Amino acid sequence: MKGVLAITSAPGKVILLGEHAVVFGQPAIAAAVNLRLHCRVATASTTTLNGAGLSPSAHPYVHHIVQACGLRENLAIDTRSEIPSGSGLGSSAAVCVALVSALVSRAHAIDPQEVAAKAYLTEAEVQGRASPTDTSVSTHGQGILVDRSEKADLLWSISRGGQQWFIHHCPMPKLSLVVGYTGVNAPTGPLVAKVKRFYDRTVFARDIVREIGQLTEEGLTRLKANDAVGLGQLMTKDHRLLAVLGVSSKELDRLVEGCLPFSYGAKLTGAGGGGSMIALTDSPDKVSEVIKRRGGIPYKVKLGEPGVRLEKE
């Protein structure tokens, strides 16, 4: 390996309310968490990812970014992640954001809007369908509100396939949140496609998506008022609606039900089907214990983590 060109890091995320419905234009609230992905790019004699040759099937996100950037030189790309992969905590978004930032940083200072747009296009092309929630929150950090219309605190807007999302800064109050990772790796693309089929075929699914949108709007008011009780109730209701959409799993339900007696609310976070759940609680030790006892891996996360950044060597 020759000279190091750039080192970046980008955070993982949790979705507090609105996943899946956001793909259909409903609002979502997401927060960056203190689990980061680190990316190092150096000149090399062949292009590699963590020492292995780059393959479109094994490394679809990195492969797509390298192709899209039309690199004329070989690069050694190395990543180190604190975010478990396939956990619903935004590991693929963080890879896209950190790598795009490392590559663009060679030409000019990191422009969050450019990074969020490029990272989103990669996620959308690889997954088939996606909203810009994960890539935008990993870029901006802190908290975001994704909405179909422009509101105060607009950061940027992103369009694709006739849809437009407006990304806003959303201040995050100090919330005590515990993530419960099921240990089940669940790729996002097939789950988003499953909800799309249900949505296209039934008024029932379209009503549920709308209801998730309404409770997310209500959740924004609760969040701004620092009302953990109200927010928690909405999170639990959101989980039940996501379960009806078919994206929960027995592992997720088991963790959610186990945490509820000690939490304001609990729900799956991200695409579901496995991955992770979150519990909003004043008893993080107790909730972590329950998650462990029920076969999950607990993470006491901090919200409001900064977004993508260039690191020193």
Judged by the rule CB under 6 A, the positions of this chain that interact with ligand MEV are 15, 19-20, 22-23, 130-131, 133-134, 188, 192, 270-271
Identify which of 31, 24, 44, 29 has the alpha carbon closest to the alpha carbon of residue 238: 29
C-alpha 132/C-alpha 308 separation (Å) is 15
From the number of C-beta atoms within 10 Å of its C-beta (0-12, 13-18, 19+), residue 200 rates as exposed
Question: Nearest Cα to 275, choosing from 302, 297, 260?
Answer: 297
Which one, 41 or 126, has the nearer CB to ligand MEV?
126
Give Dmax over CA atoms of the chain in angstroms: 57
CB of 19 to ligand MEV, least distance (A): 4
Measured from the CB atom, is 50 or 159 closer to ligand MEV? 159
Residue 108 CB, shortest distance to ligand MEV, in Å, is 28
Of 124, 137, 129, whose CA–CA distance to 305 is shortest? Answer: 137
Question: What is the nearest approach in angstroms of ligand MEV to the Cβ of residue 235?
Answer: 15
Catalytically active residues are 134
Q: Report the residue number, 142 or 216, with the smaller CB distance to ligand MEV.
A: 216
Question: Residue 16: which region, alpha, beta or left (left: phi > 0; alpha: psi -120 to 50)?
Answer: alpha
Give exposure, 6-26, as e/b (b: 16+ Cβ within 10 Å). bbbbbbbbbbbbbbbbbbbbb
| Cα dihedral 76, 64, 107, 33 in deg (nearest 10) | -80
Cβ proximity to ligand MEV: between 105 and 182 the closer is: 182
* Residue 23: DSSP 8-state: G
CB of 171 to ligand MEV, least distance (A): 21
CA distance 174 to 65: 35
Structure tokens given for 238: 């959101």
Measured CA to CA, the distance from residue 6 to residue 139 in angstroms comes to 17
Which is closer to ligand MEV, CB of 22 or CB of 287?
22
Instruction: Please state the closest distance from residue 164 (CB atom) to ligand MEV, in A.
Output: 14
Least separation in angstroms between CB 245 and ligand MEV: 10
**CA angle, 66 as apex, 68 and 137 as ends, to 5°?**
80
> Residue 258 or 272: which CB sits closer to ligand MEV?
272
- Site of tokens 């607009």: 154
